[in-house]
């Protein structure tokens, strides 16, 4: 068995992992290739054996982050069930993915605040725009079921409910399950879920 491809993949994964952490903390522009090389324990020149540019490294980070944080959320919104079941699955997926990938929340928030989006950040913008569209369907379901008031401002409700997933609403809560419960309740409050509706 040739170990060179395995070693190369492993080093590449180390670079992407270190870049995710550094980019989340300092942004792409605020992270130098020298800092990244130091974090990985290689020379700056060695980075170019795996990636051509810092933008290419960022693209690999974005691919990893999007795969980690959007898949379960889309699945939760697209499954069958009533408003509350789907809301619970969505909140759980959102919290558990960010809990499992702590740098992802900051990285996604940084990308979403970048205006205009450029390069790989535009893929994060597109993914979260699609997520908002799917969440809109959930809000409409809540209105149709009578769980949400007919006068609910759908766009505002969507943006507000999605935004809370980027804020640590339960800083003292240590477990992902307890955090998910706190996020569910915050989401219900923001959406204006009627007390008798759920």
Cβ contact 101:68 at 8 Å: yes
* Residue pLDDT, tens place only, 55-102: 999 999 999 999 888 888 888 888 888 888 888 888 788 777 777 787
How many Cα atoms within 13 Å fall on the side-chain side of residue 3?
Answer: 1
Residue where the block lists tokens 């008031």: 149
Report whether 112 contacts 124 (CB < 8 A): yes
- Domains in the chain with CATH codes: 60-191 (1.10.357.10)
Tens of pLDDT, residue by residue over 21-40, are 999 999 999 999 999 999 99
pLDDT value at 54 more than 50: yes
- Residue listed under structure tokens 């993914």: 127
What's the whole-model pTM score? 0.79
Rounded to the nearest angstrom, the gap between the alpha carbon of residue 188 and the centroid of all alpha carbons in its chain is 20
Q: What angle do CA 50, 52, 58 make, to 5 degrees?
A: 85
């Amino acid at each position: 068995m040739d170990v060179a491809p395995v070693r190369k993949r492993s080093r590449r994964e180390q670079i992407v992992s270190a870049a995710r952490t550094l980019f989340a903390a300092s942004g792409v522009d605020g992270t130098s290739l020298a800092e990244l090389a130091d974090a990985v324990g290689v020379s700056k020149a060695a980075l170019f054996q795996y990636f051509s540019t810092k933008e290419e490294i960022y693209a690999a980070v974005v691919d990893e982050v999007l795969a980690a944080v959007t898949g379960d959320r889309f699945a939760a919104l697209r499954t069958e069930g009533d408003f509350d079941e789907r809301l619970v699955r969505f909140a759980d997926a959102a919290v558990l993915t960010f809990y499992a990938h702590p740098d992802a929340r900051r990285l996604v928030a940084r990308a979403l605040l970048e205006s205009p989006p450029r390069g790989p950040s535009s893929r994060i913008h597109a993914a979260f725009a699609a997520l908002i569209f799917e969440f809109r369907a959930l809000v409409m379901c809540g209105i149709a079921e009578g769980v949400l008031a007919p006068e609910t401002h759908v766009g505002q409700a969507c943006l507000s409910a999605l935004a809370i997933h980027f804020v640590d609403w339960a800083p003292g809560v240590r477990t992902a399950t307890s955090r998910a419960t706190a996020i569910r309740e915050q989401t219900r409050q923001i959406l204006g879920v009627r007390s008798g509706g759920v």
